Structure 1
């Protein structure tokens, strides 16, 4: 039994609140069914307490009426399904909600908890990969191999069992987890996120002379990844390219330098071939992306919260939801 107190609320107090909420509000079933749902509700409450303590989140949030309502909703949904993946996702969302401060984030997380039960594990995986590919950027990568390693950690876990029937994607949209978007190819999305990893290269005479002066050219350019007779911008994306220019004092040449980064990219088809040739899960993902409506969906705010919590639960990712769900303050 956990026997610690966090900022005024003990696990025992939260446990008692959860038990009372469930007992008072869940319909009475036959004896065997009642034992099952009661056990499941208790398991979810215990998982919530442990996860909150592990993340340093105050259990005093359990006194909030909205948090109590959402705790009951989570117990209800897990008690009905017994789906362990759903339990983990609901617990993660509950912990996020317990630590949220902004009104918008609280509302979005509440809606996400109410929506999660409407999605299958496959659909949640599809929602997660959709959000990752459209709304996140692999900022830590410098080389193509870095990107492949990043993708193995962040993309691969969600690609093994994606829906292949468009009715499943229509249902995701029905729940409000996604909104219609542009049907971009996967090659297009990735080459826009990290154009520096998919450069076909350019000759020296394409480089403006002020950028090719010693010693700055050693900071700004490198031999092309795919053709050693050509050069490329030594930066994975536009923000990093701007940082490089600022470092050498040539920010006034940003348009020319970033122009080289964007003008000499591989085609979308070449990007996808390069990914498929690297092996792993890419061929299957690209096939599903091309043959279903996955390519035309964009995560809504609620879908973002669900996808983010699923990503955190599976990969241990550390970026907070507030990176994507924010309120503008003046």
Structure 2
């Protein structure tokens, strides 16, 4: 059924079965000054251009200037502000904001498929629709979603300071079934989070020389723990074993598709762009190698100059970064 749906979308270029939740502020405010002028208008217009027929749900905060913005449905939520839980000072300060605006938008979705898109990004194509349907195989014991969820590779960390990191996906773009996106984003606020105390204790017990968790690792651990209560709670950025690395790779291969922005149809804000891909990020080919290893050994991975260049840079840069980090955190 879903394979047929994907074929129809690509052939007829009709996207009525997709809703796009554009979440976040539409302008700068105190403490947040990197929102590009007009970026949300560009975001909304890009959806009309590249996803004709898709429903646009703008989920934002009160007192935002909405002039010139075109959408199908507006959702206004009370801004929870930065996290102010005194006993959890190490938690990412905008965790509640990310949850509230995303949840409020997804709650209004009635279509089978949805996109979670930050209000400071935009789309430049619709290739992610086909990509989402192209890799259907999974390890049955690893599968937690009804279909794979497409996440962009930009800021989807593979390494940090030259060392492997786990559970650090980007928060820019998610595309999949509405049911699956809700599994990721329908989590309690930080003060109501059932594993908050466990995470706080784990993080506080980490050595002072350890690298703290990335914000994305914090988010990801919460929804992974909700999906699988046996998920390990990490003390710090590199708190894992070889067994944990394999478990994360198998999860990615069976549940996620990591796609490169320029080939999936995602446009990036200026501060996220780089002339060369960051050496610490996943690429689509990195993910394809995991998919081939764990799910479908029959696929062919084409040779790619950009991937070759990326791996050459990694071979030189990552060991130096690792060495520098170990000296710094002695």
Structure 1 or 2: larger helix share? 1
TM range (shorter): under 0.3
Return the TM-score normalized by structure 2: 0.25
